[in-house]
Each structure stands twice: as structure tokens, then as C-alpha cells.
């Protein structure tokens, strides 16, 4: 018995060791040393000695040791270990790079911004470890079964021994009945050991979460992975989620008697302190025209609305048409069709309108179409005006559009859907999405988004690829299906094996020796772990 159980445990441990290949792969790409420029010399130093601000030399074919910004050189970088994307990414002056990625063909000098435990790779590894150690709600079912199953098995084992001693001697010699009773008692205890039941959920979660990481999907906890498989409605933000998030000014329409360059410079001066994508589009538009920025006093940003500031003693306002109508007391009319209007005004006077457009992400339509195939209803919740929102929604096939929403309105939309019985996921990338992400059953953030959105979310899509959302849903379904299969086989194996081990089929010559019961118990554990490993090879 001990020999078979020990051999079974050996096989089980070998199989289990393969469940964490993804985490080991991430750990293996951590660099131990870096070449830095100090006092005019290139020195190879331990990574722990590198500090933010150091200039790190990265040769072709080498791993980038730190998170930082390219200050010299040009190359292509393989980021597939972090994002799951096979295509190398062009890096030039000012581009951000991540530690652990591979510099392919050019010499780069990178200014270190984050090293060691502060790096993106270290943060990802910590997230995966935490997620793999978390518990899914379905694991509570396994615990509840085990809590009842173990005492029941002890009772069955005792009844097996008692039954053979009390009933057996009427049909066979007492010595033989005693032997069969002891053999059945031990066999029941051995084959009913709930090891496989305990392995059913965690092994599948470890493999599933690791597989997600290999494909650029970071799942923060097991509960989110399970909930994602039951989602009925998904709410998308527009800018930065469905669209690329790099809007451009398509046209500027100044009001009569307003000098165009002066109006653009005023708008850009107001927007230069804002992190909103529309604000960056306007400042970029001004830089293209080589216009000078002006000093802004008393700047204030109003989430989802716009911004105000004082320039040369005059208050100016910039933002949505409703916001401008409210704060500047002017009527705003426009025909923006599929473009987003950003209005510049001062008190009582309209100064001009920026019409801003944004490119739709190439994977957005395919992702929405696939979610529809699973029966999921899709929504767009945006602060943008109806024309631009409806145009984007129509192009990608989103079911329902909710435009002109403030952050609290997005949160209320989530609550309303949940109140109607929906299980809601929210996908967003901005500060204004954080309340909705927190209120959702599952929050999904783009890694290209703001820190507050990433911290609030349960799932992070690396590289900001919305196509990975459909992959996340498939992964959650595959993982949950595997867990259910594991629980079925683990519990079913024990239920079938107990009567055989107890000797109920001995009149027909079917018995289970305790040694083989030990082998069967170990085999059930190996079967469960092997089934979990199948997740690694399935298409995502």
C-alpha cells in the first residue's frame, strides 16, 4: 500500500510541477546583471545595483534589464513574453521599454525608470502568484463535499469491518471473514482519500491563470476568473478601449473675428495640464503648428466635462457642449456627425470648436462579434456626444449605446443592470471608468490606461488589445469546465471505488486489494492533474 501510494504521489508531483510552467517562464526572463554607463565607462553590475536614472546599454539579442525610456538608438523589441503578441515592436527615442523583453537588432541606451520589485515584470509575477493562491467560489463546493465525505467514509469503513464480522461468518469461516473485513476496512479508507478532490480546483486555476499570462491576460484573483465565465452583459468605454485612444484634431472651426492660431494656442494652454486623450490631441495639434503655450492660472479639471483656467487675467473654458453651455452661458450648435466636438469659450462668447476623431482598434469588431456568439449583450458607456458614440458602436456592432455619461452615470448603469439580474463586466482604461470598474462583477482594464483603472480592475489586458477580452472569456469557460470535470472524476472515482473496496461485489469475484486501492487513489489524483494540464494545449 505504502509503495503504491508513494509512487502515485511521485507521479502526481511530477504532473503538478508542470502546472506552473508559465510562472517559471516569467521568472526565467528576469535579468540578473546590467551594463551601465558610469564615469564614461561601461560597467556590468548586478541588477540590484542599478538605480533609476542610470543609463543602461542594451546590445542586440540581449534582454532589456529594466523598465525605462530609450534615450539613444533604434531597434525592434520582442515583447511576446509579456503581451502574447508575436510581432516585434519598433522602439526609438522616447519610447518606453519593459524589463525582460528582448532587444532584437539595434543598440539601445535606456534610462532606467523602475528596477527590481518596482518593475512591470516583478509586478506581473506578484499578481500571478497572488491569483494562483486565491480561492474560487467553486472551491467552497469541494470543501463542503470533503467536509461531509470524510466522516461518511469513516462510518462506511467501520460498517464494512462490522458487516464482515457480523454477517460474514454465516457464509464463510470466521478467519476468512476477518481477513476480508480488515482488507475492506483499509481499502475503503485508502481509495476514499480525497486527495484528488483537493487538487481538482487549484491545479486547474494555476494552469488557467498561467495560460492567461502567456497570452497577455493578467487575472488578479480566481473569483474574477469564475465570474467572467457567467457574464451576461459587458459595458465598454469608447476612447482607449474600443478606439485606439490617440484621437486627432480633424478640423478646427473658429468663430468669426477670432484669430485661428490664437484660439488654438489658448485651447492648448488650457489642455496641457490635462491627461485626457482629447486634451492631448489638442496640444499635439498646437505643437504641429509650432504655437507657443501661455501661462495658465487657477487651472481646474472637471472629470467628464472639461477644464477652466485664467490666461492674462481672462477666464477661459474648454470641454463638451453641455459643459460650455452651463459655465460660459453660451448656446452651442454643431454638426459633428461621427466626430467629437471640443468647445473653447470665454464668458458669454464662443471662440471655436475642435472636431476630434479616433481610430477604432482593428480587433474590436471581431471581439464584439465573438461575444455575441456566446450570447453576451454589449453596451457602450461614454462621455462623448451621441453622434460619435453611435458611429463607433455601429461600426463594431455594439448592441446598446449610452452617451454623455459622467463617471457616476456609468456606475449607475452597472448597478441598474445588476439590479435586473445581469452579471456585468466593465472594460475601460481611464480615471472616469474607475467607479464603474469597481461596481462591476468583473472589472477589465487596458494596460495602456491609467493607474487607477488598472488598480481597480480584476483583469488586465496587456498591450490594451480589446481582442483579448474574448480570449479572457474563453479562458474562464475552459478553466471552469476543467474544474467541473475534475470534481466529477475525483468524486465519481471515490463513489465507484468505495463499494468495490468494501467487498460488496465479492460474491461475483470482484474485490479490490488495499494495495491496488492505493494505486487507484493515486491514479485518480494523477488523472485530475493531467486533465488540468490539458488547458495548456487548448486553443484560446
Sheet holding 314-319, edge to edge: 248-254, 349-357, 340-346, 314-319, 306-311, 297-302
The label of the residue with cell 453611435 reads 390
- Closest C-alpha among 115, 192, 37 to residue 525: 192
Task: Pull the grid cell for residue 331.
Answer: 448656446
Q: How far apart are the first and last CA of the chain?
A: 41
C-alpha span between 277 and 43 (Å, rounded): 40
> In the numeric block, which cell numbers belong to residue 377?
449583450
Nearest to 527, CA basis, from 79, 80, 199, 249: 199
Sheet with strand 96-97: strands edge to edge: 41-46, 33-38, 55-58, 108-114, 67-72, 96-97
The active-site residue, picked from 54, 78, 233, 237, is: 237
List of residues 6+ apart from 326 with CB closer than 8 A: none
CA atoms of 164 and 1, how far apart (whole Å): 21
Q: How far apart are CA 115 and CA 102, in angstroms?
A: 16
What are the b/e assignments for 500-513, b being 16+ CB within 10 Å?
bbbbeebeeeebbe
Contact at 8 Å (CB) between 193 and 521?
yes
237 is catalytic: yes
Who's near 266: CB < 8 A, 6+ residues apart?
294, 311, 316, 344, 351
Q: How far is it, in rounded angstroms, from Cα 396 to Cα 377? A: 13
What is the C-alpha separation between 423 and 90, in angstroms, rounded? 40
Enzyme catalytic residues:
237
Amino acid at each position: 500500500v505504502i509503495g503504491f501510494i508513494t509512487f502515485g504521489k511521485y507521479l502526481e508531483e511530477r504532473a503538478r510541477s508542470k502546472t506552473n510552467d508559465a510562472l517559471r517562464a516569467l521568472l526565467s526572463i528576469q535579468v540578473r546583471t546590467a551594463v551601465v554607463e558610469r564615469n564614461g565607462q561601461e560597467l556590468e553590475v548586478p541588477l540590484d545595483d542599478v538605480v533609476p536614472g542610470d543609463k543602461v546599454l542594451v546590445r542586440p539579442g540581449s534582454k532589456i534589464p529594466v523598465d525605462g525610456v530609450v534615450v539613444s538608438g533604434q531597434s525592434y523589441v520582442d515583447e511576446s513574453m509579456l503581451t502574447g503578441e508575436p510581432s516585434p515592436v519598433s522602439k526609438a527615442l522616447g519610447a518606453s521599454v519593459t524589463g525582460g523583453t528582448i532587444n532584437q537588432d539595434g543598440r539601445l541606451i535606456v534610462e532606467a525608470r523602475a528596477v527590481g520589485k518596482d518593475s512591470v515584470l516583478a509586478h506581473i509575477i506578484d499578481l500571478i502568484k497572488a491569483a494562483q493562491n486565491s480561492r474560487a467560489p467553486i472551491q467552497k463546493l469541494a470543501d463542503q463535499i470533503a467536509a461531509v465525505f470524510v466522516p461518511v467514509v469513516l462510518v462506511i469503513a467501520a460498517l464494512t469491518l462490522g458487516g464482515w464480522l457480523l454477517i460474514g461468518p454465516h457464509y464463510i469461516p470466521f478467519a476468512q471473514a476477518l481477513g476480508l473485513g480488515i482488507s475492506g476496512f483499509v481499502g475503503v479508507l485508502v481509495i476514499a482519500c480525497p486527495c484528488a478532490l483537493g487538487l481538482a480546483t487549484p491545479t486547474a486555476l494555476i494552469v488557467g491563470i498561467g495560460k492567461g499570462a502567456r497570452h497577455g491576460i493578467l487575472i488578479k484573483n480566481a473569483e474574477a476568473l469564475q465570474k467572467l465565465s457567467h457574464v451576461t452583459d459587458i459595458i465598454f468605454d469608447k476612447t482607449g478601449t474600443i478606439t485606439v485612444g490617440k484621437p486627432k484634431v480633424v478640423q478646427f472651426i473658429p468663430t468669426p473675428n477670432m484669430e485661428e492660431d490664437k484660439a488654438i494656442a489658448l485651447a492648448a494652454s488650457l489642455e496641457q495640464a490635462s491627461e485626457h486623450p482629447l486634451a492631448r490631441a489638442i496640444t499635439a495639434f498646437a505643437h504641429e503648428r509650432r504655437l507657443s503655450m501661455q501661462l495658465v492660472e487657477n487651472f481646474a479639471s472637471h472629470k467628464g466635462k472639461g477644464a477652466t483656467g485664467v490666461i492674462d487675467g481672462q477666464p477661459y473654458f474648454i470641454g463638451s457642449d453641455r459643459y460650455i453651455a452651463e459655465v460660459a452661458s453660451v448656446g452651442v450648435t454643431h454638426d459633428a456627425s461621427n466626430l467629437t466636438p471640443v468647445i473653447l469659450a470665454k464668458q458669454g462668447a464662443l471662440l471655436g470648436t475642435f472636431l476630434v476623431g479616433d481610430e477604432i482598434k482593428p480587433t474590436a469588431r471581431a471581439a464584439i462579434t465573438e461575444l455575441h456568439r456566446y450570447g453576451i449583450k454589449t453596451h457602450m458607456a461614454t462621455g462623448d456626444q451621441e453622434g460619435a458614440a453611435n458611429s463607433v458602436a455601429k461600426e463594431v456592432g455594439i448592441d446598446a449605446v449610452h452617451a454623455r455619461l459622467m463617471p457616476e452615470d456609468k456606475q449607475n448603469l452597472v448597478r441598474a443592470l445588476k439590479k435586473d439580474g445581469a452579471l456585468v463586466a466593465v472594460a475601460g482604461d481611464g480615471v472616469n471608468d474607475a467607479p464603474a470598474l469597481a461596481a462591476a462583477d468583473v472589472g477589465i482594464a487596458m494596460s495602456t490606461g491609467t493607474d487607477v483603472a488598472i488598480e481597480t480592475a480584476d483583469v488586465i489586458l496587456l498591450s490594451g488589445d480589446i481582442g483579448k477580452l474574448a480570449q479572457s472569456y474563453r479562458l474562464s469557460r475552459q478553466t471552469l469546465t476543467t474544474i467541473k470535470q475534475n470534481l466529477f472524476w475525483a468524486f465519481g472515482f471515490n463513489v465507484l471505488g468505495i463499494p468495490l473496496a468494501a467487498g460488496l461485489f465479492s460474491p461475483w469475484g470482484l474485490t479490490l486489494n488495499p494495495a491496488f486501492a492505493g494505486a487507484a487513489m493515486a491514479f485518480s489524483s494523477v488523472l485530475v492533474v493531467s486533465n488540468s494540464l490539458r488547458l495548456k494545449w487548448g486553443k484560446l
